[in-house]
Amino acid sequence: MAIVFNKSFILTILFYYKIIEVHARGPVYTPPDVERLTDHFKRVSIDESYNVSFGGTNVHVTNNGTNADLSLDKFSGSGLVSKNKYYYGFFNAALKLPAGFTSGVVVAYYLSNANVFPHNHDEIDIELLGHEKRREWVLQTNIYSNGSVSTGREEKFYLWFDPTQSFHDYTILWNNHHIVFLVDNIPVREVIHNNAIYPSKAMSVYTTIWDASKWATHGGKYPVNYKFSPFTVSVKGIEIEGCVLNSKDVAPSCSRSSLSSTDPVDGQQFAKLSAQQINGLGWARRKHMFYSYCQDKNRYKVLPPECNAI
């Protein structure tokens, strides 16, 4: 005997399973419209902009040099480093993250000069932290200035999309006015220029994947399980434009302190967030941020001074 389901019953079942899916990942929100800063800069190839930093056998450049796959296996992680060092700039990579059980895996897109200044380095970090549950990658941002590694300035966000299914843009804008972290052009964090925490030296740009079992997931409770390796992040959509520090220069080749046409991110449109971007920033922080060092009174008996301005 055939079983016949009416249309309303089928829709009810579909709605039920959709709710289960949403509840498994938390509420799914539609992001607001914002300016597409990534449309202002030229995309360049991996070959043009990067060298291999480490794990060369786990770095595979594809699509005539425009894309790269970086892998982590039980022998090594892997990474790319920019051919130039930059003071200020616009830095973007489109990433597609590994799927499945990724606890302890970290994909990082960041600026650093730790190789040149090991005791007083600067760093601007976007770190994507794997998780023991499928698709629950976490976005962490952080800043170090002049070696201030004893005071972390982390903020953590849940993503509003599945980062393993397609490419998404992860961006750092750094100029004399502010540092802005963006995901798909939506600002998630803004750090206004403050000498106490602001990077002060030219940095290289890195894209890496590595084993952070000791700290990345619940303080290292869930280490990398290499049964699921290799873990591979795909990279494309490179935009990397800023004040280049040439080997013969004492200082980078554009202004540090004034609005200047020679600095690609020091024009008026990059000096402060627009109304649309402020709306996007508020949306990201209300809906998706679940940790900020400025709210961590267990970690800091006295909150860092810049928290008063947030």
DSSP annotation of 44: B
Catalytic residue (choose from 21, 35, 48, 123): 123
Q: Compute the half-sphere exposure of residue 95: CA atoms within 13 Å on the CB side of its CA.
A: 29
Look up residue 109 and give its two tokens.
Answer: 């897109």
Query: Which residue is associated with the tokens 């000498």?
Result: 195
The active-site residue, picked from 35, 48, 127, 190, is 127
Annotation says 123 is catalytic: yes
- Clarify whether 239 is annotated catalytic: no
171, 188 contact by CB (below 8 A):
no
Give the residue numbers marked as catalytic.
123, 127
